[in-house]
Amino acid sequence: MIEGGWDYVWPAYAVTIGALLVVTVVVALRAMHWAKRARALEPKKDERA
Amino acid sequence: MLSYLANPQRFMGFSAWAAPLFAVLAFVLFAVGLPWALFYSPADYQQGETVRIMYVHVPAAWWAMGVYAFMGGASFVGLVWRHVLADIAARAAAPVGAVFAGVCLVTGSLWGAPTWGTWWEWDGRLTSMLALFIIYLGYLALWSAVEDEEKAARLAAILCLVGLINLPIIKFSVDWWSTLHQPASIMRSGGSAIDPSMMGPLLTMAGAFLALFGALTLYNMRAAIFRRRVEAAELRGAGA
């Protein structure tokens, strides 16, 4: 049986969780940014109406 | 269902509740799957603790290919029916698929080092998976490089459809060529060769990756639709 497996398991999980967290944060920030900008346009639409 | 959601207004209504639902589902599945995979599943009689890498490596590999197949379908719809939402869906999925492919490569390397005695081997499975990762990066670069979004969508869709040929190569590479990588042990004729005690955490983690993909792609699509609305309004403002 292979010994010392945890030395490889921890980095694998750290890379996975780190990469998934980074992409999640980037997507969330991007989604919030554009939603906020789109909401800011809504009063202008009302003014035109 | 798909034609119903093809209307951007209806899609925004649907994604407003579906995206957070997928996000919560992903959180719950990761909260269950990670401790199950790390602490409550058994070590392998040959691979020892290193087998736990399977619970992140295999779902990342499955969905790196699954996301690309989704992008292929969306690209086909965008190319044939010129549907903007299909182009947006393909582009929104790409960064998630690229991250899954990158995670698959890194965790595979970390699994290979103790079990094969090497971090990398230029064999069919590893090379074709690296090719998938590079195709993802090329697809994203193409979208960014072409300023005209309609033209970018067409070119990216063609690239994506051409890249689909790589999916069967990845899947069958272990059968076609001599490789260090093990042959299929779950999706194979004759049933799964994995012990049921390992199947639970594996499927839970696969579900978590899928739910995360759903949430991130929907949020990405919403951001793209909001961005187009803002840019259209700014153009109207500049023209007025």
CB neighbourhood size of B5 (10 A)? 16
pLDDT at B2: 64
**Are A16 and B113 inside 8 Å of each other by CB?**
no
User: Per the domain annotation, does B185 fall within a domain?
Assistant: no
User: Per the domain annotation, does B14 fall within a domain?
Assistant: no
- Residues of chain B contacting A2 with CB distance shorter than 8 Å: 46-50, 114-115
* Section B142-152 average pLDDT: 92
CB B101 within 8 A of CB B64: yes
CA-based torsion, B57, B60, B63, B67: positive or negative:
negative
Would the pLDDT of B179 be above 60? Answer: yes
What type of residue sits at position B205? M
Would the pLDDT of B4 be above 90? Answer: no
**Are A34 and B53 inside 8 Å of each other by CB?**
no
Output the average pLDDT for chain A. Answer: 88
| Cα–Cα nearest to B54, from B203, B229, B224, B235 | B203
Instruction: State the Cα–Cα distance between residues B35 and B31, nearest whole angstrom.
Output: 7
**Mind listing the pLDDT tens digit for each residue in B180-238?**
787 777 777 777 778 888 999 999 999 999 999 999 999 999 999 999 999 888 888 77
Find the CATH number of the domain harbouring B41: 1.20.120
Would the pLDDT of A49 be above 60? Answer: no
Q: Where are the beta strands (DSSP E) in chain B?
A: none
User: Per the domain annotation, does B50 fall within a domain?
Assistant: yes
Tell whether B95 is within 8 A of chain A (Cβ): yes
- Best B36, B38, B52, B229 residue to mutate vs chain A (most A CBs within 10 Å): B52
HSE-CB of B99 using CA atoms within 13 angstroms: 23
Predicted interface score ipTM higher than 0.85 = yes
Would the pLDDT of B37 be above 90? Answer: yes
Q: Where are the alpha helices (DSSP H) in B146-195?
A: 149-163, 166-176
User: Per the domain annotation, does B188 fall within a domain?
Assistant: no
Q: Which of B122-126, B132-136, B188-192, B235-239 has the lowest mean pLDDT?
A: B188-192
HSE-CB of A13 using CA atoms within 13 angstroms: 20
> Domain tally for chain B?
1
Would the pLDDT of A44 be above 60? Answer: no
User: Per the domain annotation, does B90 fall within a domain?
Assistant: yes
Considering chain B, what percentage of its residues have pLDDT values greater than 90?
73
Q: Provide the terminal-to-terminal Cα distance of chain B, rounded to the nearest Å.
A: 38
* B84 band by pLDDT with thresholds 50, 70 and 90: confident
* B8 band by pLDDT with thresholds 50, 70 and 90: confident
Domain that holds residue B222: 20-180+197-229
CB B166 within 8 A of CB B128: yes
* Section B163-177 average pLDDT: 92
- Tokens 């005695």 sit on residue: B117
User: Per the domain annotation, does B109 fall within a domain?
Assistant: yes
- Residues of chain A contacting B113 with CB distance shorter than 8 Å: 8
**Mind listing the pLDDT tens digit for each residue in B38-66?**
999 999 988 999 999 999 999 999 999 99
